[in-house]
Amino acid sequence: MTIQSHSRLLRMLSVTAMTVATVILAGCLGDDESWRGKDISGLMPELAFELTDTSGNTITASETNGEIRMLFFGFTSCPDVCPATLQKLARAVNDMPDNLQKDTRIVFVSVDPRRDTPDRIESYVDFFSERAIGLTGEEKALRELSKRYRTTFGYDDPDAEGNYNVSHSGAVYVFDREGDARLLFRPDLSVEDIRADLVALAQENNS
Amino acid sequence: MSVADYLIPYDFSPVTILGFVLVLGFYGYGLLKMPEENRPGSGRILVFVVGVMMCYAVMQTRFDYYSQYMFFVHRGQHLILHHLGPFLIALSNPLPVMRFLYSRISPGTRRALKPLGWIYRFLQHPAIASFLFVGLIYFWLWPPIHFDAMLSRDLYWIMNWSMLLDGLLFWWLIFDSRSPVNSNALGYGKRILLLALVAIPQMILGATIVFSRGMVYDVYEVCGRAWPMPPETDQLLGGLLTWIPPAMMSILGILIILRRAMREDGKVSPYSEELKASHS
């Protein structure tokens, strides 16, 4: 092969490679789903946890199988994100058809076990919805669970009264009846959008 | 937290650890066994090891935890994986060690490695190399892609490894120790051009992040931060890290290549032998 044709071949190859790369990029961006929330199928592992419920008993994820689970990390002293999110989820569940409501479960996990006693969590979640359960555990178990869902939490320095802020995920992780990760609700999603997604999930292979 | 907690991997990856052990192992083996006259000096060895260890540190220590939950630390991680680490590795010029190791490989294995050579030569075409270098930064920072990459463990590892490997390829091309006069290495002018060309889109991207008013990367908002920090500050710092240090590294690279070119100026004339022959 002459040097000239060799370099022409290389140039042609490079143009082809760029075209292919552009097409692949365009393909990645064009995922038009009918879900209102963010589709996370395949991105995250199935639901698994072993935590303490508000009666002080150990509870695992499999005990809630068969329900659409909405996992949310927070703390009861949370000034804004947690109450707003829980209220939104509760309203969305309430707006669902009666027969589907019993198939949903709001799973509130407190990442502030020092302040959040089971009693405190119980009265907190009961205030929002009867479909909600409140869980917590030792910090190690909470760290593992949050790491599994690529999130974290951190504590601010306490002020003079001993109050401190906790940084945590603002998202709701939604798992289907089998426990597969399906959707992620961003904090700005509306009640109607959440309701629509929950109904669609609940009606999926509804036995 | 104890010192050990900071040193152990946040997300243990056996493949990553194996990769680093093999690289350092082969490098050390080559150093010990190779003929002394070709062996790199202690300064070069140090630069190589520092480059490798920096990449290891951002992937397999507590640093990785902060990279996953703070945008600006993540940008720092990629600055090391894609720029600083590979920059040092390529600058230390481990070519003599690699040549020695290659001479130890059996002919059968060499034949099996041939396709790798083709892929390598294809990727090292200057147009492809610079397109990949900038393209990968844009690709992983494309908001929807970035969101998925930070949510999925597999994608996250692919992202970091692709940045490291691409960084190595690019800086290896730029700091190729062979002179373009007597080998088919890329000419110094072209190397300088590439460095300037890749700096511009990186500066544009960094400036865009710095000056954007809304949240561009809300995944850190969604997934929680390592410590409570205003999102705007996080994004601003991340944008600055995307903008300024890479541009400075391009300039540093240009200066290094200029120095090499000036050293070779007038030293060797490619056609001198032929000319002499034709005039005699």
pLDDT tens, B247-261? 999 999 999 999 999
Percent of chain A with pLDDT over 70: 83
List C-alpha distances in Å: A147 to A50, B4, B232.
14, 19, 24
Chains A & B: contacts with CB separation below 8 Å = 83
Q: Of the candidates A44, A153, A186, which has its C-beta nearest B224's C-beta?
A: A153
pLDDT reading at A17 higher than 90: no
Name the DSSP class of B216.
Answer: S
Structure confidence at residue A162 (pLDDT): 85
What integer is the mean pLDDT of A61-68? 92
d(CA B126, CA B190): 8
In tens, the pLDDT along A91-136 reads 999 999 999 999 999 999 999 999 999 999 999 999 999 999 999 9
List beta partners, residue A52: A58, A136
User: Which residues between 234 and 273 in chain B have a beta carbon less than 8 angstroms from any beta carbon of chain A?
Assistant: none
Q: Of the candidates B131, B150, B226, which has its C-beta nearest A18's C-beta?
A: B131
Q: Of the candidates A17, A156, A167, which has its C-beta nearest B128's C-beta?
A: A17
List beta partners, residue B135: none
Q: List CB contacts of A76: < 8 A, sequence separation 6 or more.
A: A82, A110, A112, A115, A116, A120, A121, A124
Reading the block at residue A5, the tokens are 């044709």
B65 inside 8 A of chain A by CB:
yes
Decide if A167 and B155 are in contact by the 8 Å CB cutoff.
no
List C-alpha distances in Å: B32 to A16, A146, B39, B41.
44, 46, 9, 12
B150 inside 8 A of chain A by CB:
yes
Query: pLDDT class for A30, splitting at 50, 70, 90?
Result: very low
Nearest to A174 by CA among A43, A1, A31, A22: A43
Reading the block at residue A123, the tokens are 């009265």
Q: Of the candidates A14, A147, A167, which has its C-beta nearest B125's C-beta?
A: A14
| B85 contacts B51 by C-beta, under 8 angstroms | yes
In tens, the pLDDT along A131-174 reads 999 999 999 999 999 999 999 888 888 889 888 988 888 899 99
B100 inside 8 A of chain A by CB:
no
Name the DSSP class of A110.
Answer: E
Decide if A154 and B128 are in contact by the 8 Å CB cutoff.
no
Structure confidence at residue A1 (pLDDT): 45
Q: Which residue of A has its CA nearest to B121?
A: A10
pLDDT reading at A206 higher than 80: no
Q: List CB contacts of B112: < 8 A, sequence separation 6 or more.
A: none
Nearest to B228 by CA among A135, A158, A107, A185: A158
Structure confidence at residue A39 (pLDDT): 93
Decide if B151 and A170 are in contact by the 8 Å CB cutoff.
no
Mutation target to probe the A interface, by most A beta carbons within 10 A, among B146, B169, B222, B233 is B222
User: How does pLDDT run along chain B (280 residues), one tens digit per residue?
Assistant: 788 889 999 999 999 999 999 999 999 999 999 999 999 999 999 999 999 999 999 999 999 999 999 999 999 999 999 999 999 999 999 999 999 999 999 999 999 999 999 999 999 999 999 999 999 999 999 999 999 999 999 999 999 999 999 999 999 999 999 999 888 899 999 999 999 999 999 999 999 999 998 888 988 888 878 887 888 999 999 999 999 999 999 999 999 999 999 998 877 655 555 555 555 5
| A78 contacts A113 by C-beta, under 8 angstroms | no
Decide if A152 and B226 are in contact by the 8 Å CB cutoff.
yes
* φ, ψ for residue A87, nearest 5 deg: -65, -40
pLDDT reading at A69 higher than 80: yes
Q: For residue B225, list chain A residues with Cβ-Cβ distance below 8 A.
A: 152, 154, 167
SS3 (DSSP) at B175: coil
DSSP string across B103-131: HHS-HHHHHHHHHHHHHHHHHTSHHHHHH
Decide if B218 and A40 are in contact by the 8 Å CB cutoff.
no
- Tell me the ipTM for this assembly: 0.78
The alpha carbon dihedral of B155, B158, B162, B163 has a sign of positive
Distance from CA of A207 to the nearest CA of B (A): 31
d(CA A192, CA A188): 12
Query: pLDDT class for A11, splitting at 50, 70, 90?
Result: low
Q: Which residue of B has its CA nearest to A168?
A: B224
Q: Would you list the domain boundaries of chain B?
A: 3-266
d(CA B155, CA A196): 29
B214 inside 8 A of chain A by CB:
no
